[in-house]
Structure 1
């Protein structure tokens, strides 16, 4: 891999503890609508099959980047996925489930790697993901924890005084 290719790689990891059994969390992660809910801050995710999905991320200058992912290996302690051939943003990911210390539930370790292509398109995609790749992954885990513990993801969107467009500007 050349230096330019290595610089374009965007890999990040994050972890969180959730007070639920690994089997329950794994099952929730694999439900068809879960990915669209937890990654909604970053991309539109549309399930296309039992273990496949189409992703659309919006980037700099109104760019739109598309890819499809498929779960490629899913043992009881790990869920792995990868983008399919032809992706605008090739990527791979793994979510590992480990018992939390002190019988406090399950530790989730999420690793994601995006490999933007070269050239001008690659630069635009790299800007999209370098905004805060770790924050993208952390936010997904926080949203997943909220979903696992409460059945919903908190938002300020429908509130008239919410910071992202409310009347209190």
Structure 2
């Protein structure tokens, strides 16, 4: 019976007693490290899905994403900040897309950071929508690379939490709160 239960563990990959091996879940194709984070956003599911599905919008709330360019069909090119002022790039393809519910992707062969994952949008009744990001990735330089990324606050587990928080702010208020000074504040201080 234990073998039957372990084969049917439907918890998110990061909390499952028996996480799936990379490649066994048709939505998680690449990566040995798993990250899963959720946030409830007080907006309709269709609206959140539509904003996320336009990948050009992602840099507006994903701090490390420099750009995402649609390259045709279900493919896109990603440029992301890495530790020490460097960037990493990869091409990705959408592996599943259910309107208003789910977007799943996997990086193409040769990616600087092999990765895959999914963004799910579930109704939360009067509270809005639960948005869950599940990401699998292979950190560059293995465990050492993961430690360096964590030191520079560029590790995907840290970024996923922050990016979802910024997405919530943007969708609920129309802007992302920041402690940074804007040009007007800087000019005022200089006078």
TM range (shorter): 0.7 to 0.9
Alignment correspondent of 2:106: 82
Aligned to 1:54, what secondary structure does the other structure show? strand
**CA shift for structure 1 position 129:** 4.2
**CA shift for structure 1 position 157:** 3.0
Alignment correspondent of 1:150: 173
For structure 1, the residue ranges without an aligned partner over 5 or more in a row are 2-7
- Pick aligned residue for 2:139 from 116, 129, 132: 116
Alignment correspondent of 1:54: 77
- Pick aligned residue for 2:39 from 16, 29, 42: 16
Count residues with an aligned counterpart: 152
Aligned to 1:139, what secondary structure does the other structure show? helix
**CA shift for structure 1 position 73:** 0.8
Q: Does the aligned pair in 2 maintain the 1:18–1:106 contact within 8 Å?
A: yes
User: What's the TM-score, normalizing by structure 1?
Assistant: 0.74
Judging changes above 3 Å, is the alpha-carbon distance between structure 1 residues 62 and 18 closer, same or farther for their aligned structure 2 residues? closer
**CA shift for structure 1 position 82:** 1.3
User: What's the TM-score, normalizing by structure 2?
Assistant: 0.66
Question: Take 2:93 and 2:175, find their aligned partners in 1: how far apart are those partners?
Answer: 25
Alignment correspondent of 2:147: 127
CA offsets per residue over residues 130-169 of structure 1, 9 Å max, x none? Answer: 454322101111111122122322223343779xxxx8xx
Question: Take 1:21 and 1:87, find their aligned partners in 2: how far apart are those partners?
Answer: 34
Question: Take 2:83 and 2:127, find their aligned partners in 1: how far apart are those partners?
Answer: 41
Q: Does the aligned pair in 1 maintain the 2:83–2:149 contact within 8 Å?
A: no
Greater Cα offset, 16-25 or 28-37:
28-37
Judging changes above 3 Å, is the alpha-carbon distance between structure 1 residues 62 and 123 closer, same or farther for their aligned structure 2 residues? farther
